[in-house]
């Protein structure tokens, strides 16, 4: 009985469709019918395509959620290597950039394992803020001596005197660097400088930025940074 009722419904729908098709044929002509059918098929195809795109989008979001929730995709500071701009790798033993001739370095000692672990514990956001200030108010000085061939490299951040507490907080967190000043700038304002020397950059600050994959944003600072790395690595 259910099968007969179902067949009856199909029969009624078919009769209705044929009736509408006949009326369209009489009043619109075959070309108009074909055009309407083409439009309907086109709309149907677009609807199917849109639904497929939506389904694929949700599947993609679902798999991304699975990937990000996986432990292998979490940010792990104890990985064996990290890259800078896809080329440089820094091993977990935290090597300095280039070779440091400790016999010629005054008042500096190599970092200990505890020093390295402390540097790695500094929050990413804090370091990003420091790099932003270097981008805006700092510069990397590279001075080459013609007589001995020695290259002096330092990083300096210059701020007006009222911002001295900010510079002091950087030293307090990093545990290295020094304050110089105040000096009068071209506007007659008292200016103080936070200075990192070459050794501090080689064994601490630059490896720390590489480790956290933090880069300078301004083109001028990036050029200075790459040039400093080149001289450090070439000795």
Q: Output the pTM of the full model.
A: 0.59
pLDDT at position 25 over 50: yes
Average pLDDT for 18-29: 59
Closest CA to 180 of 218, 141, 143: 141
Q: Look at residue 144 and give its three-state secondary structure.
A: strand
pLDDT at position 91 over 50: no
pLDDT at position 123 over 90: yes
Q: Is 195 found in the same domain as 102?
A: yes
Is the bond leading into 182 cis (omega within 30 degrees of zero)? yes
How much is the pLDDT for 68? 37
How much is the pLDDT for 48? 57
What is the C-alpha separation between 2 and 31, in angstroms, rounded?
A: 40
Q: Is 92 found in the same domain as 59?
A: no
What is the C-alpha separation between 20 and 58, in angstroms, rounded?
A: 39
Q: Is 135 found in the same domain as 64?
A: no
Domain boundary among 25, 51, 69: 69
Within a domain: 74 = no
How much is the pLDDT for 73? 31
Handedness of CA 130, 132, 136, 138 (dihedral sign): positive
How much is the pLDDT for 86? 35
The CA distances from residue 229 to 109, 112, 151, in Å, are 20, 22, 12
Q: What is the pLDDT of residues 42-84, one digit of tens each?
A: 565 555 555 555 445 444 444 443 443 333 333 333 333 333 3
What is the C-alpha separation between 17 and 70, in angstroms, rounded?
A: 54
pLDDT at position 26 over 60: no
How much is the pLDDT for 181? 87
Count of H-run helices and E-run strands, the chain: 8, 6
Range of the domain at 166: 79-234
Within a domain: 122 = yes
Q: Is 91 found in the same domain as 24?
A: no
How much is the pLDDT for 226? 95
Instruction: Report whether 223 contacts 203 (CB < 8 A).
Output: no
Helical (H) or strand (E) element with 212? none
* Greater pLDDT, 158 or 3: 158
Q: What is the pLDDT of residues 155-212, one digit of tens each?
A: 999 999 999 999 999 999 999 999 998 998 888 899 999 999 999 999 999 999 999 9
Q: Look at residue 29 and give its three-state secondary structure.
A: coil
Q: Is 218 found in the same domain as 102?
A: yes
CATH number, domain with residue 155:
3.10.28.10
């Amino acid at each position: 009985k259910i099968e007969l009722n179902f067949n009856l419904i199909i029969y009624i729908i078919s009769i209705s469709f044929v009736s509408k098709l006949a009326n369209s044929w009489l009043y619109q002509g075959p070309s108009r019918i074909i055009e309407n059918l083409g439009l309907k098929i086109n709309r149907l195809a677009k609807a199917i395509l849109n639904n497929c795109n939506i389904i694929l989008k949700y599947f993609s979001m679902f798999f991304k959620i699975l990937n990000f929730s996986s432990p292998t995709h979490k940010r792990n500071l104890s990985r064996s290597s990290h890259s800078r701009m896809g080329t440089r790798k820094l091993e977990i033993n935290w090597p300095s950039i280039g070779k440091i001739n400790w016999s010629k370095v005054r008042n500096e000692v190599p970092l200990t394992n505890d020093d390295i672990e402390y540097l790695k514990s500094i929050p990413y956001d804090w370091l990003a803020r420091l790099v932003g200030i270097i981008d805006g108010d700092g510069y990397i000085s590279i001075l080459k001596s013609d007589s001995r061939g020695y290259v002096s490299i330092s990083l300096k951040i210059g701020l007006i005197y009222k911002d001295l507490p900010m510079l002091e907080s950087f030293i307090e967190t990093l545990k290295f660097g020094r304050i110089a000043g105040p000096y009068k700038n071209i506007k007659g304002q008292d200016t103080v400088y936070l200075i990192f020397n070459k050794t501090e950059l080689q064994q601490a600050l630059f490896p720390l930025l590489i480790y956290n994959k933090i880069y300078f944003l301004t083109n001028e600072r990036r050029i200075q940074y790459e040039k400093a790395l080149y001289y450090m690595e070439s000795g």
